[in-house]
Amino acid sequence: MEVTELVNRHNTANPFIIAEYENIDVKFVSLPSDLKGLMLSTPNDKPMIWINDNIRDCNLRYLVMAHELKHALDHYGLDGFYTAAYHGKGKLENEADRFATELMLLFYQEKYEDVPETFDTLKATFGIKEEMRKYY
């Protein structure tokens, strides 16, 4: 699903609110420190997103949520699980990174009622990794 389509449908770029509208359960849980989030299957055959509790109070949670949201919306049911720790970079991880970067750009505009001057502003605000600059 395209970012603009999703944002227009739900009238927000906040990934937590979008997940709620899409009926995706989200939980903050204790995970290893290098694992920021993951999307997993539940017995009732719907995706669930876990976000590391150690990022609950920082803006990085929005980026991780956006990344995992892409997996839940478009990659659900595929073998394996996906992390927002940004280790291996297969096609699905690249898609999730691109989606997350695009969503964070729109969320920045929504949250601050302004356009970020540069990628570095977006990076500093949400913890976006340098390698995601290509999606800006």
Three-state DSSP state, 47: strand
Q: Given this model, what pLDDT does residue 84 score?
A: 43
pTM: 0.88
Report the Cα–Cα distance between both ends of the chain, in Å, rounded.
18
Residue 67 lies in a domain: yes
pLDDT tens for the chain, 136 residues: list them. 799 999 999 999 999 999 999 999 999 999 999 999 999 888 788 899 999 999 999 999 999 999 999 999 986 665 444 444 445 567 888 899 999 999 999 999 999 999 999 999 999 999 998 998 988 8
> Residue 135: its pLDDT value, please?
82
Per-residue pLDDT, 78: 53
Number of domains in the chain: 1
Domain presence at residue 135: no
| 98 inside domain | yes
**Residue 136 domain-assigned?**
no
134 in any annotated domain:
no
Whole-number pLDDT of residue 79: 44
In angstroms, the Cα distances linking 26 to 17, 40, 41, 102 are 10, 10, 12, 21
Range of the domain at 112: 3-129
Distance separating alpha carbons of residues 19 and 7, to the nearest angstrom: 11
Q: State how far the Cα of 43 lies from the Cα of 33, in Å rounded to an integer.
A: 26
